[in-house]
């Protein structure tokens, strides 16, 4: 299974949020989480979200591919370098959690980590824990997941040239928000 995590941090409030998305080997959504916690830095927020991702994932198996957009996590987890004091406890807990697991850690660009980013921001703003599966996930998250599964980016259409195109755009938005697949063919007449 693959787990994407992200952390979000508010320096003015000293609070953080974390989010994660767990997918099966075919890329289907299994489970997501968003959570809030105290943190002293954005680095600590990233590590706490990463730790929560491992904790959530072990419920579904022990072959885990962890992906994060924080290069510092990949570098620190895969080496023995000295780490800042605020994350030492997280590092110890993560390394303890990884014992007996077949785990791989890799970097993903921020653009490829949007669902986890969305959940981390949600954890930061809502201050509490939320768990979702493929049925209960928020509509915006479902749209992002469809984009990830099909290898397409989520595009917001803002220009509506005619009433017909406007209706088409509204229909596409409705379908995307409700997880429906749509095939759209556009052609220009009179050319």
Number of domains in the chain: 1
Does residue 96 lie in a domain region?
yes
**Residue 187 lies inside a defined structural domain of this protein:** no
The answer as to whether 113 is a domain residue is yes
The separation between CA 160 and the C-alpha centre of its own chain, rounded to angstroms, equals 31
Of 42, 45, 57, nearest to 104 by C-alpha is 57
Mean pLDDT, residues 109-113: 87
In this predicted structure, which of 92-101, 152-161, 181-190 has the lowest mean pLDDT? 152-161
* Segments forming the whole domain that contains residue 117: 2-137
Tell me whether residue 84 is exposed, middle or buried, using C-beta atoms within 10 angstroms of its C-beta: 0 to 12, 13 to 18, 19 or more: middle
Do the domain assignments include residue 119? yes
Pairing of the two strands 2-10 and 63-68: parallel
Those residues whose C-beta lies under 8 Å from the C-beta of residue 84, and which sit 6 or more positions away, are 41, 43
Q: Is residue 18 part of a domain?
A: yes
Per the CB < 8 A criterion, the answer to whether 46 and 6 are in contact is yes
pTM given for the model: 0.76
Q: What is the pLDDT of residues 127-183, one digit of tens each?
A: 788 898 888 888 788 778 766 665 555 544 333 344 445 555 555 665 555 555 555
Q: Within a domain: residue 181?
A: no
Is 177 a domain residue? no
The answer to whether residue 176 is domain-embedded is no
Q: Which helix (H) or strand (E) holds 47?
A: helix 42-57
Q: What is the CATH number of the domain that holds 98?
A: 3.30.420.10
CB atoms < 10 A from the CB of 170, how many?
12
> What does the alpha-carbon distance between residue 72 and residue 67 come to, in Å, rounded to a whole number?
12
């Amino acid at each position: 299974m693959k787990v994407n995590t992200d952390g979000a941090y508010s320096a003015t409030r000293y609070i953080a949020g974390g989010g994660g998305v767990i997918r099966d080997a075919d890329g289907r959504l299994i489970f997501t989480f968003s959570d809030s916690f105290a943190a002293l830095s954005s680095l600590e927020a990233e590590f706490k979200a990463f730790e929560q991702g491992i904790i959530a994932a072990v419920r579904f198996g022990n072959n885990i591919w962890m992906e994060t957009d924080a290069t510092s996590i990949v570098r620190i987890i895969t080496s023995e370098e000295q780490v800042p004091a605020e994350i030492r406890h997280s590092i110890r807990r993560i390394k303890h959690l990884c014992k007996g697991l077949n785990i791989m850690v890799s970097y993903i660009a921020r653009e490829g980590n949007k669902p986890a980013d969305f959940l981390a921001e949600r954890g930061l703003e809502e201050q509490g824990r939320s768990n979702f599966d493929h049925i209960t996930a928020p509509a915006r998250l479902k749209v992002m997941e469809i984009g990830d599964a099909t290898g397409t980016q989520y595009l917001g259409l803002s220009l509506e040239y005619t009433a017909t195109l406007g209706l088409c755009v509204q229909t596409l938005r409705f379908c995307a928000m409700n997880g429906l697949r749509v095939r759209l063919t556009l052609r220009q007449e009179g050319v």
